[in-house]
């Protein structure tokens, strides 16, 4: 929560909630604007703009499958 405030995610990306980085200058975030399931997107830190968001996965579950961590493995 503090990092979202520090990066001003709500100011620059209203309706998104950041949870990490890809280590290459992009924020990984949930797009919570349209309810569940939340899309997972990557957004460059510069410029941090909604128009730059690229879908990584249609949901957190799909992201887990993509990185090789099945949902039933939790």
Distance between CA atoms of residues 4 and 7, nearest Å: 5
Residue 58 is predicted with a pLDDT of 98
**pTM of the predicted structure, to 2 decimals:** 0.87
Within-domain flag for 37? yes
70 part of a folded domain: no
* Residue 42: domain span: 2-61
Residues in the chain: 74
- Considering the domain boundaries, does residue 73 fall inside one? no
Task: Check pLDDT > 60 for residue 73.
Answer: no
Rounded to the nearest 5°, which phi and psi values hold at 28? -100, 130
pLDDT digits (tens, 9 = 90+) for 36-68: 999 999 999 999 999 999 999 999 999 999 889
Q: Quick check: is 71 in a domain? A: no
- Number of domains the chain contains: 1
Confidence of residue 74 (pLDDT cuts 50, 70, 90): low
Alpha-carbon separation of residue 65 from 7, 11, 54 (angstroms) = 28, 31, 18
> Does residue 18 lie within any of the structural domains?
yes
CATH number assigned to the domain comprising residue 53: 3.40.1580.10
Please state, as a whole number, how many other Cβ atoms lie within 10 Å of the Cβ of residue 4. Answer: 16
């Amino acid at each position: 929560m503090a990092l979202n405030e520090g990066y001003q995610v709500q100011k620059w990306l209203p309706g998104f909630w950041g949870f990490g980085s890809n280590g290459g200058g992009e924020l990984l975030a949930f797009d919570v604007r349209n309810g569940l399931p939340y899309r997972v997107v990557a957004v460059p830190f510069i410029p941090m703009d909604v128009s730059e968001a690229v879908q990584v996965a249609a949901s957190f579950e799909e992201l887990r499958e993509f990185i090789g961590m099945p949902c039933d493995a939790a």
